[in-house]
C-alpha cells in the first residue's frame, strides 16, 4: 500500500506544476493577443487620422478653388459639402454591410491568429 502512495505523490506534484504552467501560458497568450490587437488598432487609428487631415486640407483647398472659380467662396464649400453628403449616402446604403463585414472579419482574424 505504501508503494501506491509513494507512486501517487510525484504524479500529483507534476499535475499541479502542469496546471500552473498551463494557466501561465494562457495568460501570456492572452496578453500577446491583446497587445498585438491594440498595437494594430493604434497604428491604424494614427494612419486614419493622418488620412482624414489630408482629406480635410485638400477639401478646403478645393472648396476655395471652386468658390473662386464660381465667384463666391461659399459656393465652393457648398459644392464640396454636397459631394461629401452624396458620398456618405452612397456609402451608407450600398457599402455599409460590406465595410462592416470586412472590419468584423479583420478583428476576428487578428484575435484568432
The whole domain housing 53 covers 2-112
Q: How many domains does the chain have?
A: 1
Report, in angstroms and rounded to the nearest whole number, the Rg of the chain calculated over CA atoms: 29
Residue 4's pLDDT is what?
A: 62
- State the CB neighbour count (10 A cutoff) for residue 63: 20
DSSP per residue over 15-73, as a string?
Answer: HHHHHHHHHHHHHHHHHHHHHHHHHHHHHHHHHHHHHHHHHHHHHHHHHHHHHHHHSSH
Residue 2's pLDDT is what?
A: 59
pLDDT in tens, the chain (113 residues): 556 667 778 778 888 888 999 999 999 988 888 888 888 888 889 999 999 999 999 999 999 999 999 999 999 999 999 999 999 999 888 888 888 888 888 878 777 77
What is the chain's length?
113
- Please, are residues 111 and 37 in contact by the beta-carbon 8 Å criterion? yes
Query: What would the grid cell of residue 74 be?
Result: 461659399
Amino acid at each position: 500500500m505504501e508503494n501506491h502512495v509513494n507512486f501517487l505523490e510525484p504524479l500529483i506534484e507534476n499535475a499541479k506544476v502542469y496546471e500552473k504552467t498551463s494557466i501561465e501560458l494562457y495568460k501570456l497568450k492572452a496578453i500577446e493577443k491583446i497587445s498585438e490587437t491594440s498595437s494594430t488598432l493604434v497604428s491604424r487609428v494614427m494612419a486614419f487620422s493622418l488620412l482624414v487631415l489630408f482629406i480635410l486640407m485638400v477639401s478646403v483647398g478645393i472648396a476655395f478653388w471652386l468658390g473662386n472659380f464660381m465667384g463666391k467662396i461659399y459656393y465652393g464649400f457648398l459644392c464640396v459639402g454636397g459631394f461629401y453628403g452624396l458620398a456618405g449616402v452612397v456609402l451608407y446604403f450600398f457599402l455599409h454591410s460590406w465595410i462592416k463585414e470586412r472590419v468584423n472579419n479583420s478583428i476576428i482574424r487578428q484575435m484568432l491568429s
